Amino acid sequence: MITSYFTIFRFQTGVTIESTPVANSDGYIHTALEEIVSLTCKHNTTSEDDNELVWLRNDVQVSLNEGNKKGQSRVCISPVILEDRETTFTCHLRNNASDRHSVVLNVTHAPPLTDPEVVTVEEEASLILKCNIEAYPPVSSVVWKLNGTNVDLKASQLTLTNDGLFSTLTTEKVQRSLHEATYHCETESPLYGPQTKVFTVHVTDKTLKFPLYPMIAGIVVVSLTALLAVAARWRKIVKVGKNS
- Which runs of E-coded beta strand occur in the chain? 16-20, 28-32, 37-42, 53-57, 60-61, 72-77, 88-93, 96-108, 117-122, 127-132, 141-146, 149-150, 159-162, 166-171, 182-189, 193-204
Q: Is the pLDDT of residue 237 over 70?
A: no
Confidence tier at 3 by pLDDT (50, 70, 90): very low
What pLDDT is stored for residue 170 in this prediction? Answer: 98
Taking residues 73-97, report their average pLDDT.
95
Q: Is the pLDDT of residue 24 over 70?
A: yes
What pLDDT is stored for residue 241 in this prediction? Answer: 55
Q: 79 preceded by cis ω (within 30°)?
A: yes
Q: How wide is the angle at C-alpha 147 spanned by C-alphas 145 and 149, nearest 5°? A: 50
What pLDDT is stored for residue 40 in this prediction? Answer: 97
| Most confident listed range (45-49, 50-54, 193-197) | 193-197
Structural domains in the chain, CATH included, are 16-108 (2.60.40.10), 117-204 (2.60.40.10)
What pLDDT is stored for residue 157 in this prediction? Answer: 96
Q: Is the pLDDT of residue 105 over 80?
A: yes
Q: Reading across the β-sheet that carries 159-162, which strands appear in turn? A: 127-132, 166-171, 159-162
pLDDT tens for residues 116-164? 999 999 999 999 999 999 999 999 999 999 999 999 999 999 999 999 9
pLDDT tens for residues 202-229? 999 998 765 656 666 667 666 666 666 6
Q: Is the pLDDT of residue 97 over 80?
A: yes
pTM greater than the 0.85 cutoff = no
Q: Is the pLDDT of residue 10 over 60?
A: no
Beta pairing class for 166-171 and 149-150: unpaired
Q: Reading across the β-sheet that carries 60-61, which strands appear in turn? A: 28-32, 96-108, 88-93, 53-57, 60-61
The mean of the pLDDT values for the chain is 86
